[in-house]
Amino acid sequence: ENNDLSWSGSEDLINVIWATRENATLHFLVVHAQIILLTYGSAHSNSELFNTLLLMWFPPGQELPRAYLVGGSGGAGPSSSQQGKEALLIPDWLKLKMIRSSVSVLVDSALRDLEPQQLVLFIQSFGIPVESMSKLLHTLDQAVKTDLKSVSESVLDKNYMGQLVAVQHRRGASGGLTFAKALELKLNMGGPKLSSSSHPSSPLPSINIPPRSSAIIPPSQVKATLMQILEVGSPSRMTSKEKQDSFRTLHKSLTQEL
């Protein structure tokens, strides 16, 4: 039966390798779709299908699966001995969706190995639950202790950042005080408690986040990515920040090709 499977679109495929050395060849979009489904949570607390999918992509006590592009001259398939470039299995826009989820496993996984620039960017995002925001702020506190210079360079507007941390505390979040003290942010903790949808009214400053070196957009997805960024055809479901992240990654990929 496997002989009937065509690998002509192998640029869309990735070899996923788990820590147990199990592997599978999958379509990029299938992986992302499964993780997005997980962000919606389970309708039942003991859903076997949900738990199986969650354990598959986020196995407890193990490294997350790694992905490698399938391809090369002459075509490639699961049996190919040629290992492709490592691909970014979970891009930043998907990590942000995970952080906005109510599934704690997804939130904790998304926060693993985040760089200071990403942490500073994510705490400025809208729609993050209070519990997830607390985890973000506590993670940022740890980043200050290990790499204060990078954290400081990522903050372009200290007044806004001080307002942001204060407002998150008024929402009920915790953490971020070590971060605020190290950067000498002015926190106004007064005022009434805010609802979870409240945010500071100051405009969001732009932050220059360099694309991760491992981020790769498969060649066959370049056209679709551009159409989503430019909103050509059907309305794009990407947020403005997701568009910026995708554009940076796309620009880097095209530059490498040239």
Per-residue pLDDT of the chain (258 residues; tens, 9 = 90+): 444 445 445 567 899 999 999 999 999 899 999 999 999 998 776 788 999 999 999 999 889 999 998 864 434 444 444 567 899 999 999 999 999 999 999 999 999 989 999 999 999 888 899 999 999 999 999 999 999 999 999 998 899 999 999 999 999 999 999 999 999 998 877 655 545 444 444 443 433 333 333 345 556 566 666 666 666 554 556 666 666 677 667 666 655 554
Q: At what angle do helices 222-230 and 240-257 cross, to 10 degrees?
A: 140
Q: What's residue 142's pLDDT? A: 95
Count of other CB atoms within 10 angstroms of residue 223: 10
The CA distance from 67 to 89, in Å, is: 6
Say what the pLDDT of residue 202 is: 41
Confidence at residue 132, expressed as pLDDT on a 0 to 100 scale = 95
Give the per-residue pLDDT at 198. Answer: 46
| Count of CB atoms situated within 10 Å of the CB of 181 | 12
Angle between helices 28-39 and 104-111 (to 10 degrees): 130
pLDDT at 12: 78
Distances (CA, A) of 190 to 129, 165, 187, 200, 233: 21, 12, 9, 14, 47
pTM greater than 0.85 (yes/no): no
Strand 23-27 relative to strand 13-17, pairing = antiparallel
